[in-house]
Structure 1
Amino acid sequence: MSGSTHLLVLGGTEFVGRAVVEEALARGWDVTVFNRGRAEPPPGVTALRGDRADPDGLAALDGGTWDLVVDTWSAAPVAVRDAARLLAGRARHYAYISSRSVYRWPMPAGLTEDGPVVDASPDAGPTEYANDKRGGELAAQAEFGAERTLLVRCGLILGPWENVGRLPWWLNRAARGGTVPAPGPRDLPLQYIDARDLAIWTLDAAERELSGPYDLVSPPGHTSIGELLDLCVHVTGSAAELRWLDPEAVEAAGVAPWTELPLWTPPGEFHDALHGSDVSKALAAGLRCRPAAETVADTWAWLAGRDGVLPDRPPRAALGLDAEAETRLLSAR
C-alpha cells in the first residue's frame, strides 16, 4: 500500500474507539470503522456495518485491505478470533485493546507485563471480563502471530466520551454544589490513562509494528484523589465544598469503594492492583500523559455539552452515591 495509512477500527464510535478514530483522522489517515451502527462515528470515515455475534456478521469486511487494525472488543474471545482470522491476510498489524485485568489476582504494586495471567481460551464464548480479554489476546496472536500483534493492557481509562461514568459522576456531583463527601487520604495516588493518550500511543506503536503486551496507565505520581476532586470543583465553577473522610469512616458508613465512590479505593491490596503498575516499558516506547487538569477540564466541557447525560451503553450497575448513602457519609466521623 502507498500514500495515507489505511486503518480499520473494529468499533470506533464509543470512548476508546472514538478516540482512536479521531486521532487517526487528525493524522490524515484513511479510516474505516466496522460496528453495528448503533452510534454515529465521527465524520470523515468509511462506515461498514455488521454484528460480530452473527454467523455472517463480518461479511462487510470481505475484500477490504488495511495497513493496521485496532480492535476494542470486550466480550467473547471467539469474536476476536473470527475477525483476526478474516483479516490476517488483509492487514499488516493488529492492535488489541486489552486490560490489566488479565493478570492473576493478587496484583502487587510494581507488577509488570511479565506477571502471571488468567487462564483463557481464544475459542470461548463470553465469560468473565478478565478471561474474555485474555482470550481476545490469545485469539489475536493465534491468527496474526505474536510478532504482528500488539496487546494494549489498559488500566483505568478517563477522558471525554467516557461512557462508564466514573469521572462524569464526580463532575456532575461537584456541579450540584453543597458539601461533597470526599474519600481520602487526599494524597492517595491514582493511575489512569486518558483515552486520547491511549489512542496516540497505540497508533504510534502500531505504526512502528511493536508487538506483545504493554501496560498503559499514567506513571506513578501522575495525580492523586485530592488533585482530581479539587479539579472537578474548579472546572465546574461550583461552590462545592469537599469534606475529606478517612477510609475507616467510609467503611463504617457502609459505602462501597469503586462503585458508590467511583475512582476511589482505600489503601490496600485492591488499590495496589489498580494504581501500582510499573509502566516503564510503555514510557520507554513513547507513552506521554497529559496533565490531569486537561483531562478533567476537557471531560467537563464534553459532559456539559451533553447537559451532564452520558451516552447510551449496555446496562450495568449504576455508579455513585444515592442521597441516603451521601447522608450517611456526611454524618461519619
Structure 2
Amino acid sequence: MKLLILGGTEFVGRAIADEALGRGWEVTVFHRGHHPAPPKVTDLKGDRTASGGRAALARGTWDAVVDTWWGAPSAVRETARLLSGRVGHYAYVSSRSVYAYPAPAGLAEDGPLVDGSPGDGDVDYARAKRGGELAAEEAFGERALSVRAGLIIGPGENVGRLPWWLLRIARGGPVLAPGPRELELQYIDVRDLAAWVADAVAAGRGGPYNLVSPPGHTTMGGLLAACVRATGSGAELRWSDPEAVLAAGIEPWTGLPIWLPPGELYDTMYRGDVAKAVAAGLRCRPVAETVADTWAWLQGIGGVPPQRPDLPRVGLAPEAEAAFLRG
C-alpha cells in the first residue's frame, strides 16, 4: 500500500503513520513542519491554508489518503479536489461531535447530524468536522470514509486528559475520584484507531463509522484503578457523588478530565452504537494496557506531556481539589 497522511506527525496522525510503517507500507506525510516527521517516510511540507500551500501535493499517486485536519472544511475540499484523480480512497478522521446534540444513547451512524458545508471557513468544531466529511464525499463519493471517533487516549496524547490523571495519581495522597465508580466509559486507544483505519483503507471501506470502544469497555473506577497500578503510587481514591462535585463548581471534562456525570452529555459521549465498526473488525485493547503504556511514554519524555496550542490545559487545580476533600 502507498499511503498519504495529511498530518502524520502528532498523536492520531503519528499513530497511523507508525501502524502503516509497521505493515511495510510506503508512507508519505504532508505537514506544516511544526513537528518532526516519522523516520522512513517521504516528507512533504506545506500549509493548506496558505496560497500555494498545497504545491507539494500537485504530483504523486497513492492508494489511500488519511486526513486528520480539524479546521476549516474548505481546506479539506481543496485538498480532496486536488487529489481526487490520483488517490484511491479518502479517509477523513472526523468526530462523533457531528451528531445533533443531544445524541440519545444507542445512536448509530444514521442519526441526525449538525449542519455543515464543505465550503465553510472557520466554524465551530462540530460544523467543521461535518463540513470536512462532506468535502471528502464531494470529491470521492463512496470512496470517502468518515471515521467518527470519540474520546481518543493513549501514548502520544497531546490534549492532556489521561496524562493529567496519571500525573495527579502519581503524586499520591487523597485523590478526588468523581463517581459513580461504575460509570461506564467509551473511548478508543489511538493505536486501535490506527489499526482499524489501516484495515479499512486496505479494504476500501467508505461511509461513516462510529469509532470508539463498545459502551462499558471500562468504567471510571477501572480507569483510575489502572492509573494507581501503573504509577505504583500510594494514592487514595476518594469516591464522591457527582451531585457533590457539581455543587462545588468543579467542571466535568475540563476540571476532571474524561469524567462526565450521568445525563445528556454523558449519553452523547459514552453511549454510542459501534456495532458497524465492530463488524468491520474493531478490536480494543484492555484499559490497563492503554494506561500502562501511556505512563511508560510519559516517563520516557520526562513527565511533561505535549499540549495542543489551540486547546486549553485541562485538570483541577490542587488547591481546588484540596478544598473539596476537606469538605
TM range (shorter): over 0.9
Matched, 1:61 2:57: yes
Structure 1 position 167 matched with structure 2 position 162: yes
Equivalent residue number for residue 119 of structure 1: 115
Shift of 1:312: 4.3
DSSP-derived class of the 2:81 partner: helix
Q: Is 1:243 aligned to residue 243 of structure 2?
A: no
* 2:159 and 2:313 in contact (8 A); partners too: no
Structure 2: distance between partners of 1:211 and 1:253: 46
Partner of 2:2: 6
Cα contact 1:11–1:35 (8 A) shared by 2: yes
Structure 1 residues 319-328 or 293-302, which shifts more? Answer: 319-328
- Corresponding position: 1:331 with 2:323: no
- Indicate if the aligned counterparts of 1:76 and 1:126 stay in contact, CA closer than 8 A: yes
Contact 1:249/1:329, CA 8 A, preserved across alignment: no
How far apart, CA to CA, are the structure 1 residues paired with 2:183 and 2:116?
33
CA displacement, residues 202-261 of structure 1 (integer Å, 9 cap, x when unaligned):
110111111100000001221000000011111011111111000011012111111000
Residues 1:288 and 2:283 aligned together: yes
Deviation, 1:324, is 2.4
The letter of the residue matching 2:53 is G
Q: 1:279 aligns to what?
A: 274
Higher alpha-carbon deviation: 101-110 or 300-309: 300-309
Q: Which residue of 2 is the match for residue 231 of structure 1? A: 226
CA contact (8 A) 2:307 2:313 kept: no
258, 263, 272: which one aligns with 1:268: 263
Asked if 2 retains the 8 angstrom alpha-carbon contact of 1:10 and 1:69, the reply is yes
Contact 2:119 2:131 in 1 (8 A): yes
Q: Matched residue pairs, number?
A: 327
Q: Find out whether 1:17 has 2:17 as its counterpart.
A: no
> Which deviations, in whole Å up to 9, do the C-alpha atoms of 1:31-58 show, x marking residues without a partner?
0000001101221111100001102110
**Percent identity over the alignment?**
65
Equivalent-residue separation in structure 2 for 1:68 and 1:273 (angstroms)? 31
Q: Which runs of 5+ in 1 are unaligned?
A: none
Matched residues in 2 for 1:43 and 1:8: separation?
Answer: 15
Counterparts of 2:92 and 2:310, CA distance in 1: 24
Q: Which amino acid aligns with 1:297?
A: A
* Cα distance change of structure 1 residues 44 and 210 upon mapping to structure 2, 3 Å threshold: same
Consecutive unaligned residues of structure 2, counting only runs of 5 or more, are: none
CA deviation string 1:139-193 (max 9, x = no partner): 0000111x10000000100000000000000000011111110001100000000
Deviation at 1:310, TM superposition (A): 1.6
**Superposed CA offset, 1:61-92 (max 9, x none):** 11111111000000000000011000000110
- Where do residues 139-158 of structure 1 align in structure 2 (5 Å cutoff)? 139-145=135-141, 147-158=142-153
Within 2, Cα distance between the matches of 1:61 and 1:306?
A: 33
1:178 matched to 2:173: yes
2:60 matches 1:41: no
TM-score of the pair, normalised by structure 1:
0.97
